[in-house]
Amino acid sequence: MMRWTPGASPVLDVLAIALVMLAAMMSLAAAVGLLRFPDTLQRLHAGAKPQVLGVIVICVAIVLRSPSWPVVALTSLVVVFQMLTQPIAAHMAGRAAYRTDGLHGELIILDEMADDVSAADRADKP
């Protein structure tokens, strides 16, 4: 069975620090996007994309800093669950914002959901 030794290489430590700094910069970019973008859909995009990539980068840094098979397995699960749940959560929040008029209609170039929402609203009324 292969066993890695933590801290065996200063190069790996420096690379792990660089990855953590990269993840911090992605988090900062997400925060700036959340503050600066005008409506909910753009804010969701700014918050979701760097957040998932930041989690992946942090997990890679953790594996570099503390390399063992249990750590690899755990961080792999974190990445998989993050990649599965974040797009679904952003999609559901975007749909809720669309239905409650929490966005700027003039910023939408192609509204593919309008027909479906109006059909669903008509079907709900007796």
Determine contact, residues 79/55, Cβ cutoff 8 Å: yes
Instruction: Name, in order, each residue with C-beta under 8 angstroms of 1's C-beta and a sequence gap of 6 or more.
Output: 69
Write out pLDDT tens, residues 39-74: 888 888 888 888 889 999 999 999 998 888 999 999
- Give me the mean pLDDT over the 88-108 stretch: 80
Question: The whole model's pTM is what?
Answer: 0.75
CA–CA distances in Å: residue 54 to residues 58, 70, 75: 6, 21, 13
pLDDT of res. 1: 47
CA distance 102 to 111: 15
Measured torsion, CA atoms of residues 53, 57, 58, 61, in degrees rounded to the nearest 10: 170
